[in-house]
Structure 1
């Protein structure tokens, strides 16, 4: 899973639409990730194609996205993988 995919799924723990998602990603990454619309909508399309997110509402002006059960499972699996990597990296501490 790419970093962009991870942060979009993380930000979609609470359903959101595109513009709010950009702000939510910046917030959950503590300002480290500033995702532009090109990256955001490209990744949203891929996540939707992979059945990791779904559109909850489309009023013609904006779409509200949410994770699917598969998306939540993928996010949790990636979180565990990242924790394992941190644990493995502790060898550098001494």
Structure 2
């Protein structure tokens, strides 16, 4: 069975979309991710711009403006839907793990 495009997101993909719930330019996205994750997740410029191009092509984000050579992007409704689906998937994984741990501990 063929996998749907962006059925699951990598951690970096997830955080780029999460950062774009607010309009930001590339460097602002990297700063927001670093701040949100307290430095646990860092995205290099090459990776970021490849993801932005892909997300724009998939209509998950939209270019909102260009100012002083900076391109600003924001999440689209489709991007928000994708982000929320991934959040639900992650929560379900965590719930499954908790169930297994409870069963192993006999509680």
TM-score, normalised relative to structure 2: 0.83
In 2, the alpha carbon distance for the partners of 1:86 and 1:30 equals: 21
What residue in structure 1 maps to residue 40 of structure 2? 32
Structure 1 residue ranges without an equivalent (≥5): none
RMSD: 1.1
1:4 paired with 2:21, answer no
What residue in structure 2 maps to residue 92 of structure 1? 101
Q: How many residues align?
A: 94
TM-score, normalised relative to structure 1: 0.94
Give 4+ residue runs of structure 1 displaced > 3 Å after superposition: none
In structure 2, the residue corresponding to 1:56 is in which secondary structure?
strand
In 1, the alpha carbon distance for the partners of 2:58 and 2:16 equals: 14
In 2, the alpha carbon distance for the partners of 1:86 and 1:49 equals: 31
Alignment of 1:1-94 (within 5 A): 1-59=9-67, 61-90=69-98, 91-93=100-102, 94=105
In 2, the alpha carbon distance for the partners of 1:29 and 1:47 equals: 21
Residue-by-residue CA offset, 1:45-70 (whole Å, 9 max, x unaligned): 11101000000001360100000000
Structure 2 residue ranges without an equivalent (≥5): 1-8
